[in-house]
Protein backbone atom coordinates (compact mmCIF):
# COMPACT_ATOMS: atom_id res chain seq x y z
CA UNK A 1 0.00 0.00 0.00
CA UNK A 2 1.59 3.34 -1.03
CA UNK A 3 1.69 6.38 1.23
CA UNK A 4 -1.52 8.36 1.29
CA UNK A 5 -1.45 12.08 0.64
CA UNK A 6 -4.23 12.72 3.16
CA UNK A 7 -2.21 11.46 6.18
CA UNK A 8 -1.69 14.33 8.61
CA UNK A 9 2.07 13.73 8.52
CA UNK A 10 4.20 16.80 8.24
CA UNK A 11 7.89 17.35 7.77
CA UNK A 12 9.75 20.43 8.89
CA UNK A 13 13.21 21.87 9.11
CA UNK A 14 15.14 24.89 7.96
CA UNK A 15 15.74 23.59 4.43
CA UNK A 16 12.39 21.85 3.97
CA UNK A 17 10.39 23.14 0.99
CA UNK A 18 6.99 21.36 0.72
CA UNK A 19 6.52 21.73 -3.05
CA UNK A 20 9.92 20.14 -3.68
CA UNK A 21 10.27 17.75 -0.73
CA UNK A 22 6.84 16.57 0.51
CA UNK A 23 6.15 13.76 -1.96
CA UNK A 24 9.75 12.51 -1.95
CA UNK A 25 9.95 12.38 1.84
CA UNK A 26 6.55 10.69 2.23
CA UNK A 27 7.53 8.05 -0.31
CA UNK A 28 10.92 7.49 1.28
CA UNK A 29 9.37 7.25 4.76
CA UNK A 30 6.92 4.64 3.49
CA UNK A 31 9.65 2.61 1.76
CA UNK A 32 11.85 2.61 4.86
CA UNK A 33 8.90 1.65 7.06
CA UNK A 34 7.92 -1.24 4.77
CA UNK A 35 11.52 -2.48 4.61
CA UNK A 36 11.73 -2.44 8.41
CA UNK A 37 8.48 -4.35 9.02
CA UNK A 38 10.28 -7.67 8.57
CA UNK A 39 11.65 -7.07 12.10
CA UNK A 40 15.17 -8.06 10.98
CA UNK A 41 18.32 -6.03 11.49
CA UNK A 42 19.38 -3.80 8.61
CA UNK A 43 22.37 -1.53 8.10
CA UNK A 44 21.88 1.91 6.56
CA UNK A 45 23.55 0.64 3.38
CA UNK A 46 21.10 -2.27 3.14
CA UNK A 47 18.12 0.02 3.69
CA UNK A 48 19.44 2.55 1.17
CA UNK A 49 19.77 -0.20 -1.44
CA UNK A 50 16.33 -1.64 -0.66
CA UNK A 51 14.57 1.73 -0.79
CA UNK A 52 16.51 3.54 -3.49
CA UNK A 53 17.52 6.29 -1.04
CA UNK A 54 20.80 7.48 0.39
CA UNK A 55 22.19 6.34 3.73
CA UNK A 56 21.72 9.89 5.07
CA UNK A 57 18.10 9.96 3.89
CA UNK A 58 17.35 6.53 5.34
CA UNK A 59 18.92 7.56 8.66
CA UNK A 60 16.71 10.66 8.73
CA UNK A 61 13.59 8.57 8.05
CA UNK A 62 14.51 6.19 10.91
CA UNK A 63 14.70 9.25 13.17
CA UNK A 64 11.31 10.36 11.83
CA UNK A 65 9.75 6.98 12.64
CA UNK A 66 10.85 7.44 16.27
CA UNK A 67 8.95 10.74 16.51
CA UNK A 68 5.45 10.79 17.96
CA UNK A 69 3.91 12.36 14.87
CA UNK A 70 5.26 9.50 12.73
CA UNK A 71 4.13 6.71 15.03
CA UNK A 72 6.61 6.73 17.92
CA UNK A 73 8.11 3.46 16.69
CA UNK A 74 10.85 1.71 18.63
CA UNK A 75 13.89 1.41 16.38
CA UNK A 76 16.64 -0.58 18.07
CA UNK A 77 20.25 0.16 17.21
CA UNK A 78 23.10 -2.33 17.60
CA UNK A 79 26.79 -1.78 16.95
CA UNK A 80 27.96 -4.36 14.43
CA UNK A 81 31.62 -3.32 14.19
CA UNK A 82 33.51 -0.05 14.58
CA UNK A 83 31.13 2.64 13.36
CA UNK A 84 28.73 0.25 11.63
CA UNK A 85 25.29 -0.12 13.20
CA UNK A 86 22.23 -2.19 12.41
CA UNK A 87 18.65 -1.12 13.03
CA UNK A 88 15.52 -3.12 13.79
CA UNK A 89 11.90 -2.01 14.13
CA UNK A 90 10.03 -3.49 17.08
CA UNK A 91 6.40 -4.34 16.45
CA UNK A 92 3.82 -3.03 18.83
CA UNK A 93 0.07 -3.37 19.11
CA UNK A 94 -1.88 -1.26 16.62
CA UNK A 95 -2.85 2.04 18.23
CA UNK A 96 -6.05 3.93 17.58
CA UNK A 97 -5.34 6.71 15.12
CA UNK A 98 -1.82 5.51 14.28
CA UNK A 99 -0.65 6.79 10.91
CA UNK A 100 1.90 4.05 10.18
pLDDT values of the chain reduced to their tens digit, one per residue, 100 residues: 445 555 567 787 788 887 888 888 999 999 999 999 999 999 999 999 999 999 999 999 999 999 988 888 999 999 999 999 999 999 776 666 565 5
For residues 63 and 29, is the Cβ–Cβ distance under 8 A?
no
Residue 11 forms part of a structural domain:
no
- Domain total of the chain: 1
Query: Whole-prediction pTM value?
Result: 0.82
Residue 79 forms part of a structural domain:
yes
User: Could you tell me the residue range of the domain that residue 39 belongs to?
Assistant: 18-90
| Cβ within 8 Å of residue 35, ≥6 positions away | 42, 47, 50, 51
Quote the pLDDT of residue 2. 47
Residue 76 forms part of a structural domain:
yes
75 forms bridges with which residues in the sheet?
89
The CATH number that applies at residue 79 is 1.10.10.10
Complete DSSP assignment for 57-88: HHHHHHHHHHSGGGT--EEEEEEEETTEEEEE
Residue 7 forms part of a structural domain:
no
What are the angstrom distances between the C-alpha of 5 and each of 18, 33, 75, 79, 80?
A: 13, 16, 24, 35, 36
Amino acid sequence: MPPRDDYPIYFDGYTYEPPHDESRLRTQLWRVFVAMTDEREHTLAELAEATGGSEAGVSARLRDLRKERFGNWVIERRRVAGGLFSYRLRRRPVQQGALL
